Structure 1
C-alpha cells in the first residue's frame, strides 16, 4: 500500500451511489470490497484498490445467465449482505438470497426462486465465479466465513424463536468441511446482541483477537437511526462470547437526524501490509438543511471507511473522534483522487459498461449493442416499472444528490420509452414519450400513481428526456420543454424494508424498441 508522510485526506463514502453492507479482504497489496445488490443483476460487484481510498470496479460475483435466479422478487429482496474472504489462492463469497415471508407477499405461480445461503468461488476476483454451493437447512441472513488452522467456519444470524422481545436475533456458528463445504458438527449460538431488548444483531464477522482469543463484530439496532457496531470476545471461536462493556463501539444513533452521515453500522475489518487495521462500515448520506437537521436522500446505504486502533485488546473505531465524517484524514493513506463529475455513455464500446444492471435479469436479456452504430437497443417488454415481471430497464446507481440526467433516445414500434428513477416497483418516477408523441411524467408512491405533467406534441425522431435532480426535488424536461417539478421524498431510503437506493437509466415498454443514443449524468457540486 502507498505510504504517506502525512495523514491522507479522503471522502466518505468511498464508493459513489448505493453500495450497502460492505465486506473487505486483502491479498498482498490489493484490497477487495463486495457489496449487496438485492434484486439487481449482475449482482455483488467487486471493487479493487491498492490504497483503500481509490477504488475501481472489476466485475461481479453473479454475472452470467443461469448462475442464480431472482425472477419475480419484489424490491429490496434478493442478494443480502455478502462476505468476501481469500484463502490459499482462492476467493470466496458467501451470501443469502432472501424471498418474501408468507405475511409479506404470496408467491407467484411456480413459487419463489431458491432462497438461502450460498457460496461462490473464483481464482480471480474479476471472475469468472463458480455456480453456487448451497447450504441447506441454515436459516437467517448475513453469512460470514472464517478460515483458521485448517478448519472452516460459517456464521450468520436469524430471528430467535421464540424471542424474548421483538426482533431478538441469534448469531450462530457452524463448521464446514474444508473440501466440500458441507455443514458438519453441532450448531453454536454465540450471541444475541449487546443490548437486552435491542433488535437485529446482524452482519456478524469473526476475527482472531490481538493477544489471543476471538472477537465478534456485529451490527445491531436495524439499518436506520439506531444502527451500531458492537463487539464481543471469547477464548474459543465457539464461545461463550462476552460483550465489550463499552458497546456500541461505533454508532451515530445518539445524533439522531442531526448527522451528515447517519445509520452507521455493519462493519468488516482488514489489516494493511503495515499492520494498521481499517473498517468498512455502512452509512447513509443525509440531506442536511440550514437548521442542521438531516433527511434520507435517494442514494441509499453506502460504503464508508474508518481507521481502527487497539487499546488493551479492544478496537477503537475512528480513534480520537469516534465518528464517520464526510471528510476524514488518516495516517498511512494518500490523498484520495477526485471522482468524475460526468458520466457519459454513448454506447460506442464493444460491450456494455458493467455498471448497467437489470431488475432480476441481466441486461443482455433486453439490451443489445450493434443494432445501430453507437446506440444500445432496448427491446421493449409488455411489463413495466410497476410489475414484478422482467422489464427493459437499463439502470445504474444514482451517483450523487445533485445530478442532471439526460437520456437521448428514439422509439420504434408502439409503446413508450424514456428515463426512470427507480427505488422499487412501488416507488419510482417515470418520464416517458410514447409512439404518438405524447410525453408524460408519472410518480408512483407506494403503488399510487400520480401524473406530474404532460406534453402532447413531441416531434418524431431522437428526443432528449431530462431530470435535473436536486436532493429530493427534480425538474423534468422533454425536448428542452418543461413538464414541471416533482417531490422525490417518496423514493428516499428509510421506509420499512427499503434497503436499496435509487437507480437511474433508460427503459422501454410495449411492442417495439428504443434506440438509446446517449446517457449523461452530470454531477453539480
Structure 2
C-alpha cells in the first residue's frame, strides 16, 4: 500500500521530536510523572516505529519523588551532531515550583545516556537546540517577556548560546518572537532550523487544548529580527470544530528525508463518546512542501488526515509485539512504566518464574506517590485487557488487581480484597473527583482469579472468572469518560495496569500475575 494511517504512535505519546542520522530516524516524546522517562523510537520509513529504550532509565537521571500528576518531564527535543545524540527537556517540579532545564547525551540512541547536565538561568519550558554551520550551538525556550505580559499567558521565545565544553549557557539572551497570533497565548515548544540560508522558528501557540496550533517565522540572522509567515497558523484544527475526529493539533517538529522530502511530526488527540480524550495527546505525521521560502503543511488541505500518502522511503516493518506478556523475560518490556521513580524492590520476574510478582506497598493508587504498580498506555478506542492473579488478602486494607488510571483521583480499580465479613471479594471501584463508588462486588473463593476489562468506546465492562474461560460479568456500561483528561484535567493519557497495595498499611504480602494481555478490538 502507498498510504499510512495516523496516528503513527497511538496512545499517550505527546510532544514528539525527531532527528535523522543517515537512513535512520529517531523520535522521543514526553512522559510527565511516568518512569522510565522519554521513550526513544527508531524508524527507517517515518511510519513504522520500534521502541529501543528510554532516555531516562536510571534514578540518577530522573528523580520523580513528590512530583504531582501531570508534572515531571515536558517536551523533549532530540538532536544529533558529530557522533553525539542530545536530548534536552524540562523537569517541572510542581504546579507552582521550579521549571528546570537539562540535557543528556549518548553516542548510541538506545543508550546508555549521560546523567543530566542542569542549565543555570534557563527560564521557561520546552527547550530545543540548533547546531549551526559555524559550530555554534543555540538554545531556545520560552519565557515571560522581559517587558511583562500584555495578556494572560503571553510568552516569548528566547535564544542563548550553549557552551558544550562548560555545559552551560553563555553570552546574552535574545528575545526572538512572541508569536503570530496575538491574544491567543502560550507561545511555546520552539524548534529552530537553518534551511537554505534562513533561520526558521517553528512554535506552538494557543495552549495544548482545542485552540492548539503551529506557527512559523524566519530571519536571515539567528538573533533576529524574525518575520512572521503571513499564512500563520500553518497547521491547526480549531476551525474544524470539536466534532472532527482529530483535534488539538500542534507542537510540531520538522524533518527532511534523505530523498529531499519534508515531513512534520505533531501532536493531536482522538476524542470519542463526545469531546473526551482518554488517550491523551498522540503522535501524528503530515507532509510539508516549501513554497516561496515558507513551509506549507499538507498542500491543498492544510490538515492532518487519517490516511495519507506514505513518505518516499523503503518500507521497513518491525516484528509486532505480542498482545500477551507472559512475564517470561528477565526484565520488563519497554512498554511497561511505573508511576514516579520506583523505590524499593516491589516487583520481581524471578521469584516465581513466568509471573510478575508485585509486593504490597503502603502507597495506594489514590495518592501522588510511587505505588506498587506497572502499567501500559491505552492505545485503542475499543480494547480488551485480561490478566490472572493469585492473591490472598491478609487484612481489610490489602488489595490487588487491574486498574484503568487517568490519575490518582480518576480511575477504575478491578480489585481483589476482603469484605466487611472477612470474605474474599472481587469488586469494581470507580473513583471520580476523589470520591469512590463500588459499582459491583462478588464473593469469590481463594485461589487464582481471572480478570477481564473491556472498553467499547466509552462503555466499560468488567468480567471475572475463577476458572479459565468461565467469565461472569460483574459490571457493564460503566462510564469511560471518567478516564478522560477533559474530566480529570492534566496532560496525560489513560494507563491500564496491575497493582498491589496495603492502602496505608505495611505488609509482607504479594500478588502474582501470570500474564497480562492487551488487545485492540
Q: C-alpha separation between the residues in 1 aligned to 2:364 and 2:511?
A: 14
Report the equivalent of 1:202: 188
Deviations 1:45-72 (A, max 9, x none): 0000011101000010110132221111
1:100 and 2:94 matched: yes
Q: C-alpha separation between the residues in 2 aligned to 1:496 and 1:203?
A: 24
SS at the partner of 1:298? coil
The structure 1 segments of at least 4 consecutive aligned residues displaced by more than 3 Å after TM superposition are 333-342, 362-365, 494-497
Q: C-alpha separation between the residues in 2 aligned to 1:279 and 1:364?
A: 41
Report the equivalent of 2:236: 251
Q: C-alpha separation between the residues in 2 aligned to 1:371 and 1:341?
A: 25
Would the alpha carbon gap of residues 354 and 363 (structure 1) be closer, same or farther in structure 2, given more than 3 Å must change?
farther
Count of residue correspondences = 501
Shifted more, 192-201 versus 153-162: the winner is 153-162
Among 186, 201, 218, which residue is 2:203 paired with?
218
Q: C-alpha separation between the residues in 1 aligned to 2:321 and 2:111?
A: 29
Would the alpha carbon gap of residues 156 and 497 (structure 1) be closer, same or farther in structure 2, given more than 3 Å must change?
farther
Would the alpha carbon gap of residues 146 and 331 (structure 1) be closer, same or farther in structure 2, given more than 3 Å must change?
closer
Q: C-alpha separation between the residues in 2 aligned to 1:58 and 1:363?
A: 24
1:30 and 2:15 matched: no
Q: C-alpha separation between the residues in 1 aligned to 2:488 and 2:432?
A: 14
Q: C-alpha separation between the residues in 1 aligned to 2:91 and 2:248?
A: 23
Report the equivalent of 2:475: 484
TM-score for both structures, normalised by structure 1: 0.92
Tell me if the contact between 2:410 and 2:488 (Cα under 8 Å) persists in the aligned partners: no
1:270 and 2:255 matched: yes
Shifted more, 330-339 versus 177-186: the winner is 330-339
Q: C-alpha separation between the residues in 1 aligned to 2:511 and 2:145?
A: 49
Tell me if the contact between 1:10 and 1:335 (Cα under 8 Å) persists in the aligned partners: no
1:521 and 2:513 matched: no
Tell me if the contact between 1:298 and 1:472 (Cα under 8 Å) persists in the aligned partners: no
Report the equivalent of 1:88: 82
1:418 and 2:386 matched: no
Report the equivalent of 2:162: 176
Offset of residue 354 of structure 1: 1.5
1:188 and 2:174 matched: yes
Among 13, 17, 23, which residue is 1:19 paired with?
13
Offset of residue 259 of structure 1: 1.6
Would the alpha carbon gap of residues 346 and 81 (structure 1) be closer, same or farther in structure 2, given more than 3 Å must change?
same
Offset of residue 459 of structure 1: 1.8
Tell me if the contact between 1:190 and 1:240 (Cα under 8 Å) persists in the aligned partners: yes
SS at the partner of 2:510? strand
1:367 and 2:350 matched: no
Q: C-alpha separation between the residues in 2 aligned to 1:49 and 1:364?
A: 35
Would the alpha carbon gap of residues 153 and 92 (structure 1) be closer, same or farther in structure 2, given more than 3 Å must change?
same
Tell me if the contact between 2:342 and 2:370 (Cα under 8 Å) persists in the aligned partners: no
Shifted more, 445-454 versus 333-342: the winner is 333-342
Alignment of 1:307-386 (within 5 A): 307-333=287-313, 343-362=323-342, 365-386=345-366
Offset of residue 273 of structure 1: 0.6
Would the alpha carbon gap of residues 81 and 331 (structure 1) be closer, same or farther in structure 2, given more than 3 Å must change?
closer
1:68 and 2:59 matched: no
Q: C-alpha separation between the residues in 2 aligned to 1:388 and 1:301?
A: 22
Shifted more, 299-308 versus 355-364: the winner is 355-364
Offset of residue 101 of structure 1: 3.4
SS at the partner of 2:280? strand
Offset of residue 364 of structure 1: 7.7
Deviations 1:297-351 (A, max 9, x none): 3211000111111001110111222111111114514568599696100101122
Offset of residue 361 of structure 1: 1.9
Tell me if the contact between 2:366 and 2:409 (Cα under 8 Å) persists in the aligned partners: yes
Shifted more, 427-436 versus 376-385: the winner is 427-436
Instruction: Give the superposed CA RMSD.
Output: 1.9
Q: C-alpha separation between the residues in 1 aligned to 2:267 and 2:56?
A: 22
Among 467, 480, 493, which residue is 2:485 paired with?
493
TM-score for both structures, normalised by structure 2: 0.92
Q: C-alpha separation between the residues in 2 aligned to 1:452 and 1:338?
A: 41
Q: C-alpha separation between the residues in 1 aligned to 2:319 and 2:374?
A: 23
Shifted more, 85-94 versus 158-167: the winner is 158-167
SS at the partner of 1:269? strand
Offset of residue 365 of structure 1: 4.1
Report the equivalent of 2:42: 48
Q: C-alpha separation between the residues in 2 aligned to 1:136 and 1:501?
A: 31
SS at the partner of 1:494? helix
Offset of residue 160 of structure 1: 3.9
SS at the partner of 1:489? helix
